Structure 1
Amino acid sequence: MRGQVSDLVALDIGGTHARFALVRFGDDGAIIMDDPITLKTSDYVSLQTAWEEFERQVTGPVPRAAALAIAGPVTGETVRLTNNSWVIQTGSLDKQLDLDRVVVLNDFAAVAHAVARVPEDQFLHLSGPDEPLPQNGTVSVIGPGTGLGVAHFKRVDGQYHVQATEGGHVNFAPVDHVEDALLKRLRNQHRRVSVERVVAGPGIVEIYETLASLEHRSVEQLDDRTVWERGLAHTDNLAVAAIERFCMALGSASGDYALSHGASAVVMAGGLGYRIRDTLRYSGFAERFRFKGRYEPLMANIPVKLITHPQPGLFGAAAAFQREHFLETV
């Protein structure tokens, strides 16, 4: 133990929402988290003003320690969020928020911490061998949401090390003629097409409209939320087909990340992943995950799971803070 504090504010700041939760650490190292307070980032001009609203909603004193998981590269004292307008000066957060201790990390690094720490009963099997995550080896962590989060961690002899990445911004690689058409459509809009343009929540609109174009159909302009709702409710067959295509593209990308990371397992995370969990299990996701030519036998032996913890970003931020400040052996 390096010190003794009982409370922490964990934050998970994404492109759409900022979530805050009060956290206590048990004597046995357990992370005990209150229900989160969720704010829309678009309703606040900065982290400071969102923090003020959080303080207004909390009864009792606010702890003077915080762990922030941020949707963007955390490489210096200025962090510009990838999918919202906030700019966070990490070097002065202690003064801005009146804190004694602060830990800042990438949001998917936080999710990787959560994957490494939560018990096995908080995972849902998606494909591959139905076995626990390896105690030694690398685990890829992937999450489609407002953007596409990618991280991985390596376990060795009971310890683990998390590596944040910006893997969601690698080039999108089409596999068939439908994805060729999708890439062509996106190239007309963007100088460069990353995987995140397809395999993230907003990408469902581009998939939907590409499928309509291939069928020479005229469709109304819909936002991504509507396409997801119609597809999951099976009230729009084109939206159903778009979600199937999304799952296939997610399978291809997930397999690519597993190969790149040398992964022994893959874990899907994020609210969207959980929302489409049943669709993923019965879609072309698993086939596309394995579809790697001479490496298909290797891919078929990689378990793919989905973390079911309701707030892995918050839990993981608290776990990262705990590792840095309290429990060297966690």
Structure 2
Amino acid sequence: MLAQVAPIQSEQLFLAADVGGTHVRIGLIRAERGAALQVRAYAKFRCADYAGLADIIEEFRAGLDGSARAGVVVIASAGYPLLDGTVIAANLPWPLSPARIREQLQLQAVHLVNDFEAVAHAVAHLDASEVQRVCGPERVAAGPLLVLGPGTGLGAAVWIPAGPRAVVLATEAGQAALAVSTELEMDLLRQMLTQRSHVPVEHALSGPGLLNLYLALCALRGATPAHAHPSAITAAALAGDDPLARESLEAFCGLLGSAVGDMALLYGVRGVYLAGGILPQMREFLMQSSFVARFLDKGPMREALEGVAVKLVEHGQLGVIGAASWYLGSEFLEL
């Protein structure tokens, strides 16, 4: 995918990194006046294999041609930035400080953007071939778009058209309290509340959240857990030979549909993009689950939600391209 961006005055060469709790995806970006930005080099790293983001950036830069060792890095990451430049990021395995990275690597500049804010900047440029319809109209109506995705946590942002340049609202929707509807969900929530006083949305709707749901269900059923990782639960559910895994994944999809419906109404969006994370692994299961029914089950607002297009995004480089698109349209770029 080549993302269209606002015209620039000269060629720009910089790095864009999408930092998640499990993986860091990083690309060398080339942008030129009148052309689409290009990902000239790209790699994915496991966070657990490195002591910090600076080590990952340095390894990536070391593999580039000397003339391509860009001095500007744009980081898209989950978390809440503090006034001192550090980031509160519950799902990262190490601290994140753009100022320290810039100093350590002697970079010209390091910029930080919320990961789903970055994705929202990219999603408006997606081709039809890069998304799959989940429900609603084939064509997304003009208006705000919600972009969210469960991965190591749950991220969400709202893309708002506002003249020549859109406004993106970064959110911490994953930290809002989990709302439940069915008797089973109430039991699962009560079980999770025995271990913590606040159960946020991402405690159920993320990779670790799927494991939390599974462990809570096993406790309710008096069963010994057979799986210790979300991927194993998903695989067992898709194979159809583990009823508890399948019930956990169905509960996950139902809760996700309900939460997405709530957010669509809360932000008044015309389209929803379910981006990246763990969803592509369970695409067919999601399509056949209670997701759509729960998304629409909002009483008299059902008719309004029937007009909201819900799409599943497949593109693996979306966060990198989004970070680059944000930077090219930001106040940091000299035009």
SS at the partner of 1:36? strand
Q: 2:119 aligns with which of 111, 119, 125?
A: 111
Matched residue, 1:94: 102
Distance 1:233 1:130 in 2: 30
Distance 2:261 2:48 in 1: 34
Does the 8 A contact of 1:79 with 1:89 survive in 2? Answer: yes
SS at the partner of 1:159? coil
TM-superposed deviation, 1:315: 0.8
Which structure 1 residue ranges, 4+ long, deviate > 6 Å from structure 2? none
- TM-score scaled to structure 2, two decimals? 0.90
Q: 2:64 aligns with which of 58, 69, 82?
A: 58
Does the 8 A contact of 2:276 with 2:315 survive in 1? Answer: no
Does the 8 A contact of 1:10 with 1:20 survive in 2? Answer: yes
Q: Deviations over 1:47-94 (max 9, x none)?
A: 222222223333444111221101212353111322123222234543
Matched residue, 1:124: 132
Does the 8 A contact of 1:80 with 1:86 survive in 2? Answer: no
Q: 2:16 aligns with which of 10, 18, 33?
A: 10
Matched residue, 2:200: 194
Amino acid at match of 1:54: F
**Uncovered stretches (5+) of structure 2, i.e. residues with no partner:** 1-6
Equivalenced residue count is: 326
SS at the partner of 1:87? coil
Amino acid at match of 2:74: A
Query: Which deviates further from its counterpart, 170-179 or 277-286?
Result: 277-286
SS at the partner of 2:81? coil
Distance 2:69 2:125 in 1: 26
Matched residue, 1:69: 76
Q: 2:212 aligns with which of 182, 192, 206?
A: 206
Distance 1:219 1:236 in 2: 11
Distance 1:159 1:2 in 2: 14
Give matches, 1:94-243, under 5 Å.
94-131=102-139, 133-135=140-142, 137-243=143-249
Does the 8 A contact of 1:126 with 1:304 survive in 2? Answer: yes
TM-superposed deviation, 1:215: 4.1
Distance 1:184 1:64 in 2: 50
Amino acid at match of 1:243: L
Distance 1:109 1:327 in 2: 21
Query: Which deviates further from its counterpart, 140-149 or 1-10?
Result: 1-10
Amino acid at match of 2:53: L
Give matches, 1:29-44, under 5 Å.
29-44=35-50
Give the percent of matched residue pairs that are identical in Structure 1 and Structure 2: 33
Matched residue, 2:4: none
Amino acid at match of 1:127: C
Query: Which deviates further from its counterpart, 6-15 or 57-66?
Result: 57-66
Q: 1:275 aligns with which of 281, 288, 295?
A: 281
Amino acid at match of 1:176: T
Distance 2:207 2:29 in 1: 29
TM-superposed deviation, 1:158: 4.8
Supply the RMSD in Å over aligned alpha carbons.
Answer: 2.1
Query: Which deviates further from its counterpart, 246-255 or 2-11?
Result: 2-11
Does the 8 A contact of 1:4 with 1:326 survive in 2? Answer: no
**Uncovered stretches (5+) of structure 1, i.e. residues with no partner:** none
TM-superposed deviation, 1:42: 1.7
Amino acid at match of 1:14: G
Counterparts in 2 of 1:157 and 1:2: CA distance versus 1, 3 Å: closer
Query: Which deviates further from its counterpart, 146-155 or 302-311?
Result: 302-311
Query: Which deviates further from its counterpart, 170-179 or 216-225?
Result: 216-225
SS at the partner of 1:88? coil
